[in-house]
Amino acid sequence: MKKLITLSVLALSSIGASAQLTVTDSLTTGSIATLLEGIGVTVSNVTVNCAGNAMGHFIGSSELSITEGLLITSGGADQVAGASLDFASIGNNTPGDADIDAALGFGTVTYDACVLEFDCLPMGDTLLFNFSFGSEEYQEYVGSAFNDAFAIYLSGPGFPNPTNVAAIPGGTLVSINNVNTTLNPTYYYDNENPAGQYVSYDGFTTNLTAFAVVQPGQQYHFKVVVTDVGDMVFDSGVFLEAFSFRSPMFTTAIGEADAWPFRVVVNGASLELVAPGASVNSQLEVLDAAGRIVHTDVLTGERSTIDIGSLPQGAYAVRILTGDVQGVARFVKG
């Protein structure tokens, strides 16, 4: 049940010490880059445009499946470590974000945006980033104008316009109204039933992965933003998993099959997938170059045929999610 809004005037310390999760809000751009960098990427030119202590470093076990990383919020990072019966709500009286405004449509007003931007140089042909979005707006304000939102915008070669690579299937923006107990519930964790002990947000997404196909050795720019929508209270935040920003080289080459658990070959309107040891009915996803899920299917065995006739030409990746064989391979539909 939502806490009384008058509790928002109560301040917590800059370190959330009442639970296993600890948050500290004093970060240099160098320490931010260190938390971001994983295998195969170099991060530079870090800039932060957030109010006060809206950004912090979190570490520790909690209801989240992420145990360490960077936390950016529309309020105060210092208020996130605590029980779900606590209340994270600060009006920072700062501007919103134009990109989120445009994504949500005409008439939307955003506030208290926290924006992290940086450049990166990928060594591989793919960029991935693990995250979880949480909010005090859950579950009471689902379907209302208080539709707090989050995005990771990518620009660079192949992305002339900023593209949200943290969208859920169909290119849908991660927001209160788009991920909840009713809509896209498989991506949602209810932190009120039962009551969470370590994260104050009433709900958050599961650990999701932003995904994009890129050109190795070329510079890309990222903008990570979370913002209040409709008012300045009832905070939201995104947990960026430490060292999960990475750039592997996915391949479908037969000669490199041993490096990955499966391979794929395009055959006209079909995708032939060979996954030795794969279980029947293992779930898979096909993602476009911006990381949007464009097709879901199941394996019929170690050799499966996937219909990709409806997909336009372009670069894609196929990801096996369940079963004995899991992983990702890239393919191009000509």
Q: Is the pLDDT confidence value at 154 over 90? A: yes
Residue with tokens 């992290």, as numbered in its chain: 116
Least confident window among 41-55, 67-81, 119-133, 278-292: 278-292
Looking at residue 87, its pLDDT comes to 92
Looking at residue 89, its pLDDT comes to 93
Higher pLDDT, 51 or 312: 51
- pLDDT tens digit sequence for 277-289: 788 888 888 887 6
Least confident window among 1-5, 174-178, 218-222, 258-262: 1-5
Looking at residue 250, its pLDDT comes to 56
Q: Give residue 150's pLDDT band: very low, low, confident or very high (50, 70, 90).
A: very high
Q: Give residue 1's pLDDT band: very low, low, confident or very high (50, 70, 90).
A: very low
Q: Is the pLDDT confidence value at 180 over 90? A: yes
Q: Give residue 172's pLDDT band: very low, low, confident or very high (50, 70, 90).
A: confident
Q: Is the pLDDT confidence value at 33 over 50? A: yes
Looking at residue 290, its pLDDT comes to 65
Q: Give residue 12's pLDDT band: very low, low, confident or very high (50, 70, 90).
A: very low
Q: Give residue 17's pLDDT band: very low, low, confident or very high (50, 70, 90).
A: very low
Average pLDDT, the chain: 85
Average pLDDT over residues 204-220: 91
Least confident window among 25-29, 229-233, 324-328: 324-328
- pLDDT tens digit sequence for 295-334: 999 999 888 999 998 988 777 888 887 777 667 777 777 6
Q: Which residues pair with 37 in a beta bridge?
A: 245
Q: Is the pLDDT confidence value at 88 over 80? A: yes
Q: Is the pLDDT confidence value at 11 over 90? A: no
Tokens standing for residue 199? 């994260």
Average pLDDT over residues 104-132: 92
Domain ranges for the chain: 5-241, 254-333
Looking at residue 249, its pLDDT comes to 66
Least confident window among 23-27, 175-179, 193-197: 23-27
- 254-333 classified as CATH 3.40.50.150: no
